[in-house]
Amino acid sequence: MKAFFTGHRDITNIKDGINQLIDMALERGVTEFFNGMALGIDQLAAEVLIERQLHWTAVIPCQNQDRLWTLQQKLKYKELLKSASNKIVLYPEYTPGVMQARNQWMVKHSNICLAVYDNRLTGGAALSVNIAIAHHLPIIQFNPKTLETAVIEPKQLSLF
């Protein structure tokens, strides 16, 4: 089974929550993790995956994803990428929509969504969670505001 991470860029130090998500994913049989390598939760999750020596794939939206980042952010990004089990680059360079395409790719290739998500209605994490819901994926959510973890199972239609 495969799982992908999504989360907010402005949350940078919540490793305990990420470890909880990973533990719950492993209990469900996840053996492969997808990571979009954005700033914030994605890179923090990559650090945890490396620390735990788990198999993960960096799903890079475009070759120059880091083009607007600071030198320090670029160096950290390149260091994290060295430890990825696999790397997939979806587009050669940035164009509008590549980040959303990356999120859709991860949803389509995953069985579970791991979300560090505080229920905001806008942003990339909200979009990814909504795409996962539309694809009937279970969502394991760690809310960084409440520090609570929840499992949101997909709803199935019933004729009875």
DSSP string, 16-65: HHHHHHHHHHHHTT--EEEE---TTHHHHHHHHHHHTT--EEEEEEETTT
Residue 130 has which token pair?
């909504």
- Whether 90 is in a domain gets the answer yes
Residue 83's domain spans which residues?
2-152
Q: What is the pLDDT of residues 53-100, one digit of tens each?
A: 999 999 999 999 999 999 999 999 999 999 999 999 999 999 999 999
- Whether 157 is in a domain gets the answer no
pTM exceeds 0.85: yes
Coil/strand/helix, residue 78 = helix
- Whether 123 is in a domain gets the answer yes
Q: Number of structural domains, the chain? A: 1
Average pLDDT over residues 22-26: 99
> What's the chain's average pLDDT?
94
State the pLDDT at residue 9: 80
